Amino acid sequence: MSLVVRKSSPVVVRPSPEAGMTSGGTIKLSSFDKGLYNMPSTTLLVFEHPLHNAAEIIQGALSRALAHYYPIAGRIVVAGGGGGGGGDDDFYIECNDQGVDFIAARTDHALKEVICFDRSPSPGARKLLDHLAVYYPSMTCGSGDPLLLMQVTEFSCGGFVLGVTWNHGVADGAGMGQFLQAVGELARGSPSPSVAPVRWDGSLPSLPPSVLEAQQHLLSLDPLGDDLAILDITIPMESIDRVRADFSSSFGQPCTTFEAALAVLWRCRTRAIKPGPETLTLLVFLADMRKHAGAKEGYYGNCIVEQLVMAKCGAVADGDFKGAVMAIRRAKDQLPDRLKDGDGVVGQQKLREIRAYDTLIVTSWRNLGFDRVDFGSGRPARVTASGKDLPPSPGAVGFLRDGSGGVSVLADLVRQEHAEAFLAELAKFK
């Protein structure tokens, strides 16, 4: 199928002066922000129910929201123009109200012709989704680029898709979810956002060197690119519930949906790629640290860390799901310690020894708030990540709760040669 999307020229949307908010000055990027200052992230929110003049309504609400979230209308600058990262004071958001890019688009197709709600889309349909968002050139954010790119595509059936691409340095996923909920509230007529936004929180602790070094290692992994198969899969809730029930009956502790789904992916992937039993595998999951760091309510800057779980491949592949869940649970219990000085969960030498293909990075979008965005016609029927901006290492995953009763996963987990084996392992589990 050929999807024709007619896009308007980009419009610069600036903070609305009607809100009476003041901006200006600079905001220093925290140690949580700094390593992500040029990294883009994209999400697609699919709204099945019609909203008359959706693009016009959202554009107006976006302008009003930027008056409250004015740093998003600014630019990231590097002190001295070096860009090399010479300390905490090198990177700032300049609050100059230069604005964000907004594109209104239309297509003659109905929404269900392009996006599947009850099953994973085919590879061809997944590529069509690329037309529904705007991306930064070369998939990196330059110093003069807007911090937010937004596209609203209206379909012939009245449904629409909101594509949001942003510079990760200005907000993490929870922060962007909070911002989009504010846009929705203003679109529905609220005089101001229900949550007062906070972008600078001087009480946040600085990340210890071990955390920053691990982050830089993961970001510097050589990308496998086209060698990886992008898969859009759903793990049925019945299967997840079996893992949770088995774990709880054995250990007397609850098991979350995230822990169960992550254990399933880790074990099935390890069995599919068949590394040697003594080979080390590294599981990485991103964790929101707002509670542990004592972040202020409404803080929308970055407050996430990468938590590491290392094991031998044989133990993961040949063990049961309970063992994988317990390893993940122990790592979650250690999260407060990630804010303390120390050698880290995994030493730098061991990190360098683990092959990129034996590294699995997972991020969960289930509780970020994207699914609670409402511009006046109801919440999105589906939220999905973009396959274009998955992180460079293999095994990067987006978790989303699927309305059909399972966990939806967009992943570049395995090379093309291992895709069939991975899907077969998942099928055995179901």
Min mean pLDDT across 66-70, 218-222, 263-267 is at: 218-222
b/e for 360-375, b at 16 or more Cβ within 10 A? Answer: bbbbbbbebbbbebbb
d(CA 76, CA 82): 13
d(CA 149, CA 147): 7
Cβ contact 395:418 at 8 Å: no
Does residue 202 sit within a domain? no
Q: Is the dihedral of CA 105, 54, 21, 41 positive or negative?
A: negative
Structural domain total, the chain: 2
What pLDDT, on a 0 to 100 scale, did the predictor assign at position 247? 92
Provide long-range contacts, Cβ within 8 A and 24+ apart, for 86-91: 88/28, 88/29, 88/30, 88/31, 88/34, 88/206, 89/28, 90/34, 91/28, 91/29, 91/33, 91/34, 91/37, 91/169
Does residue 2 sit within a domain? no
Q: Domain boundary at 154, 187, 220, which?
A: 187
Cβ contact 335:345 at 8 Å: no
Instruction: Please confirm, yes or no, whether 246 is among the known catalytic residues.
Output: no
Q: How many residues does the chain have?
A: 430
d(CA 166, CA 54): 20
Summarised one tens digit per residue, pLDDT across range 402-424 is 555 778 887 788 888 999 999 99
Higher pLDDT, 110 or 375: 375
How large is the angle between the packed helices 237-251 and 257-273, nearest 10 degrees? 100
Summarised one tens digit per residue, pLDDT across range 94-113 is 999 999 999 999 999 888 87
Q: Domain boundary at 134, 155, 187, which?
A: 187
Does residue 196 sit within a domain? no
63 and 103 belong to one structural domain: yes
d(CA 145, CA 50): 32
Model confidence at 269, pLDDT cuts 50, 70, 90, reads very high
Does residue 195 sit within a domain? no
Predicted confidence (pLDDT) at residue 207 exceeds the cutoff of 50: yes
219 and 267 belong to one structural domain: yes
142 and 230 belong to one structural domain: no
Most confidently predicted of 64-68, 218-222, 281-285, 391-395: 64-68
Cβ contact 412:396 at 8 Å: yes
177 and 218 belong to one structural domain: no
287 and 251 belong to one structural domain: yes
The tokens of 368 are what? Answer: 């970020």
What pLDDT, on a 0 to 100 scale, did the predictor assign at position 189? 95
Predicted confidence (pLDDT) at residue 120 exceeds the cutoff of 60: no
Catalytic residue among 68, 109, 168, 418: 168
CATH code of the domain containing 45: 3.30.559.10
54 and 124 belong to one structural domain: yes
What pLDDT, on a 0 to 100 scale, did the predictor assign at position 193? 96
Does residue 336 sit within a domain? yes
b/e for 57-77, b at 16 or more Cβ within 10 A? Answer: bbbbbbbbbbbbbbbbbbbbb
Does residue 78 sit within a domain? yes
Catalytic residue among 288, 374, 389, 412: 374
151 and 292 belong to one structural domain: no
183 and 214 belong to one structural domain: no
Does residue 30 sit within a domain? yes
Predicted confidence (pLDDT) at residue 20 exceeds the cutoff of 80: no
Model confidence at 224, pLDDT cuts 50, 70, 90, reads low
How big is the chain by its Cα radius of gyration, in Å?
A: 21
d(CA 409, CA 402): 9
169 and 280 belong to one structural domain: no
90 and 218 belong to one structural domain: no
73: left (phi over 0), alpha (psi -120 to 50) or beta: alpha
Q: Domain boundary at 156, 187, 218, which?
A: 187
CA 91 to chain centre: 22
45 and 146 belong to one structural domain: yes
Instruction: Please confirm, yes or no, whether 374 is among the known catalytic residues.
Output: yes
Does residue 313 sit within a domain? yes
**148-154 and 100-106 as β-strands: parallel, antiparallel, unpaired?**
parallel
**228-236 and 280-288 as β-strands: parallel, antiparallel, unpaired?**
unpaired
* Domain carrying residue 375: 209-429
317 and 414 belong to one structural domain: yes
d(CA 265, CA 325): 11
